Amino acid sequence: MQTRCPKCTSIVRSRGSSWDILNAGCVELAGTRWADKPEFCPTLSDVVHAEVLLPGVADREIVLAEIAEVRVVKVHS
């Protein structure tokens, strides 16, 4: 089963609880330490099937806080 993030080009392909990321490119993670780790995409973590646990689920609050911080820096730059 494949699920695409509605906000970016990241796609997760799942087989049971195992998963692979296809077409990585999360715009929300740009400028964060997770920029090259689309499995931390906060939106993708919400839309995948319940049996798939992406790392972004466990670290969701930390990821969202850093995304918000990067946005503030970009706006004030």
Q: Where are the domains of the chain?
A: 2-76
pLDDT for res 30: 86
DSSP one-letter code for 10: -
**Cβ-contact 14, 51 below 8 angstroms:** yes
Q: Give the C-alpha separation, 67 to 41, whole Å.
A: 10
Model pTM score: 0.63
Q: Residues 12-69: pLDDT tens digits?
A: 888 877 788 887 778 888 888 888 887 888 888 777 766 677 776 777 888 889 889 9
Q: Give the C-alpha separation, 68 to 48, whole Å.
A: 23
In this structure, what token pair is assigned to residue 3?
Answer: 């699920």
Tell me which residue of 6, 34, 9, 40 sits closest to 24, measured CA to CA: 9
In this structure, what token pair is assigned to residue 2?
Answer: 């494949």
